[in-house]
Copies of this chain bind each other. A is one copy, B any other.
Amino acid sequence: MSNTITLYNTLTRQKETFKPINSNSIGMYVCGPTVYGDAHLGHAKSYVSFDLIYRYLTHIYPQVKYVQNITDVGHLTDDADEGDDKITKQSRLEKVDPMAVVEKYMYNYFRDMDALNVLRPNISPRPSGHIPEQIAAIEELIKKGFAYEANGSVYFDVTTYNKDHDYGKLSGRKVEEMMDGAANRTLNAQSEKRTPLDFAIWKKADESHLMQWSSPWGMGYPGWHIECTVMSQKYLGDNFDIHGGGLENAFPHHECEIAQAEANSDKPFANYWLHNNMVTINGQKMGKSLGNGIFCHELFTGDNYQLTQAYSPMTIRFFILQSHYRSTLDFSNEALGAAEKGLKRLSKAMQLVDSLKSSDQSTVNVGELKDKLYAAMNDDFNSPIAIAHLFEAVKWINNLTEGKEQISEVDLATFKTFLNTFFFDILGLKIESDNSVSSTDHSAVNALMDLVLEFRASAKENKNYAMADQIRDRLKALNIQVKDSKDGAKWEYEN
């Protein structure tokens, strides 16, 4: 079958057929984290979602260039252009260099994403590593009349831009209406902005800002929005296929990215805008500031008051994939517990696939199931539907194992291939090497040895030395050495 992907484009508010600029090399940019704290369930939802999309595109197309930034400067506490720099603020709290804060939380971020089996992006650029590129873009915007300098900072001029462009096209807002709304927010008397909608693309640095660079406008640092415009275009070109991010960043962040890019290049920026929805808890938004956030490492250890147990990384991943990326994901221990059970059932079946035996004919329609799986993923990456179809396969696997269904040799080969492709490659699931099994084994060995040594002791007591020696020989064959002592028999593995 031909795999035509249909995806929901926030820009047009409808599902569209995905038409790559160059089908030999897809370009995708996703807004990455600002690394001033650990990754929470919201990050997991966002990056597992785009990992699914990246994996599926990689399955369909020969090459996907996946760029995801790591924000290390310029993201201010109010998400716009006021407030403290998030990294700098954290560095004061931790009393270390801002760059040490960045290293620490970037490490933790990738550690948690690795655990969730999120593939690394091809490039993870950082704004501090692209200062000259950002300054060049800002100079260009000023030259073209889309930005103005004021007292060492530079602002994007939304009014001028909106004359020939459509500021608000992504988020569906109208500049006039926003202006009316903004009229109520009086511009601060000291404001350097011409209108409240203008936004900073370069900020003058006061002494408290520990990261600053020399620029044509004095010492300063780039605004949060300009980094994504500049770094996506540097690595993917002025016009590229897909831009992704969290829905909460559609405005102002992504809207501003588009304005900056299209003002400078006079070309469309990203063709498709994909946004993942948020995580809720009891219907309420989950967030750090709301006090109900849960870090990924807390999920893995169970160490958070909202958790009744620990959940393995694959359980979290499976839980996320069981809802669509554009749907909200409602957290509850019940839902996670159900995901845990479901994944166990699926994993158990996946381990049986290799030992399935073929028959002369098939009683299951393998081709149809395969088509359904692809159809689900082609329909805006609908992982919950794909997973539902995999559970149909679980039923088949169990029935085939018990001889209640039959499968032909050709069908079995197809079945194996697409199950492995979907489970491991596309959904990115893993059979978890269950630590609890190895510790179960470990305690079982100890307890079984107690039992066996009791048998041996009672054989000896009954003067059944042949039996006692036989037990010792059998254990020796297992590389288990028995030593008799005053306190009874002891044992250890031989080296």
A444: which B residues are within 8 A, CB to CB? 441, 445, 478, 480, 493
Residues of B within 8 A of A449 (CB): 448
Contacts of A477 in B (CB 8 A): 447
CB A451 to nearest CB in B, in angstroms, measures: 6
B478 adjacent to A97 (CB under 8 Å): no
Considering only residues 391-433 of chain A, those with a C-beta below 8 Å from chain B are: none
Given the complex of chains A and B, what is the CA–CA distance between A136 and B129 in angstroms?
15
Pick from A99-107, A184-192, A375-383 the stretch touching chain B: A99-107
A128 interface residue per 8 A CB criterion: yes
Q: Does A486 contact B (CB under 8 A)?
A: no
With a cutoff of 8 Å between Cβ atoms, the chain B residues found around residue A478 in the complex are: 443-444, 447-448
- A99:B123 contact, CB within 8 angstroms: yes
Interface flags, A36-47, vs B, CB<8A=1, else 0: 000000000000
Interface residues in A27-67 by Cβ distance below 8 A to B read: 65
A21 within 8 A of B: no
Question: Is A213 an interface residue, CB under 8 A from the partner?
Answer: yes
Residue in contact with A452 in the complex, picked from B99, B120, B131, B451, CB distance below 8 Å? B451
The one of B120, B443, B479 in contact with A103, judged by C-beta atoms closer than 8 angstroms, is: B120
A235 and B124 CA atoms in complex are apart in Å by 22
Q: Indicate whether A96 reaches chain B with its CB closer than 8 angstroms.
A: yes
Give the chain B neighbours of A327 by CB distance below 8 A.
none
Asked if residues A214 and B474 are in contact (CB atoms below 8 Å), the reply is: no
Copies in the complex: 2
Chain A 431-473 interface 0/1 with B at a Cβ cutoff of 8 Å (1 = within): 0000001101111110111011001000000000000000100
Establish whether residues B100 and A120, one from each chain, have CB atoms under 8 Å apart when the complex forms. Answer: no
A122 at the interface (CB under 8 A from B): yes
A131 near B128 with CB under 8 A, answer no
Instruction: Knowing A445-B444, A445-B448, say if A123 contacts B107 (CB, 8 Å).
Output: no
| Residues of A104-142 contacting chain B, CB below 8 A | 107, 120-126, 128-132, 136
Q: Which residue of chain B is the closest to A107 with respect to CB atoms?
A: B120
How far is B448's CA from A471's CA once the two chains are assembled, in angstroms? 10
Complexed CA–CA distance, A447 and B448 (Å): 10
Known contacts A445-B441, A451-B452; A96 and B120 CB within 8 A of each other: no
- Point out the residues of chain B lying under 8 angstroms from A107, CB to CB: 120
Distance in Å: Cβ of A206 to nearest Cβ of chain B: 19
Taking the closest CB of chain B, its distance from the CB of A133, in whole angstroms, is: 8
Q: Shortest distance in angstroms between A120's beta carbon and chain B's nearest beta carbon? A: 6
A235-B97, A480-B444 as given contacts; A103 in contact with B122, CB under 8 Å: yes
| Chain B residues, CB < 8 A from A438 | 438, 441-442
Asked whether, in the complex, the Cβ of A213 is within 8 Å of the Cβ of B123, the reply is no
A235 touches B99 (CB 8 A): yes
| A448 contact set on B, CB distance < 8 A | 445, 448-449, 452, 478
The minimal Cβ–Cβ distance linking A338 to chain B, given in whole angstroms, is: 15
CA distance A97 to B122 in the complex (A): 9
Residues of B within 8 A of A440 (CB): 479, 493
B132 with A129: CB separation less than 8 A = no
Residues of B within 8 A of A471 (CB): 451
Residue of B nearest to A495 (CB): B344
Which residue of B122, B126, B442 contacts A129 across the interface (Cβ within 8 Å)?
Answer: B126
In the bound assembly, the distance between CA atoms of A426 and B437 in angstroms comes to 33
A97/B123 in contact, CB under 8 A: yes
Residues of B within 8 A of A129 (CB): 126, 128-130
Check B474 against A451 for contact (C-beta < 8 Å): yes
* A-B residue pairs in contact (CB < 8 Å), sample of 18: A103-B122, A103-B123, A107-B120, A132-B132, A132-B213, A440-B493, A441-B441, A441-B442, A444-B478, A444-B480, A444-B493, A445-B445, A447-B478, A448-B478, A451-B452, A451-B474, A452-B452, A455-B455
The 8 lowest CB-CB distance pairs between A and B, nearest first, are A129-B129, A438-B438, A441-B441, A448-B448, A100-B122, A99-B123, A447-B478, A441-B442
Q: Taking beta carbons and an 8 Å cutoff, which residues of A are in contact with B?
A: 65, 96-97, 99-100, 103, 107, 120-126, 128-132, 136, 213-214, 235, 437-438, 440-445, 447-449, 451-452, 455, 471, 474, 477-480, 493
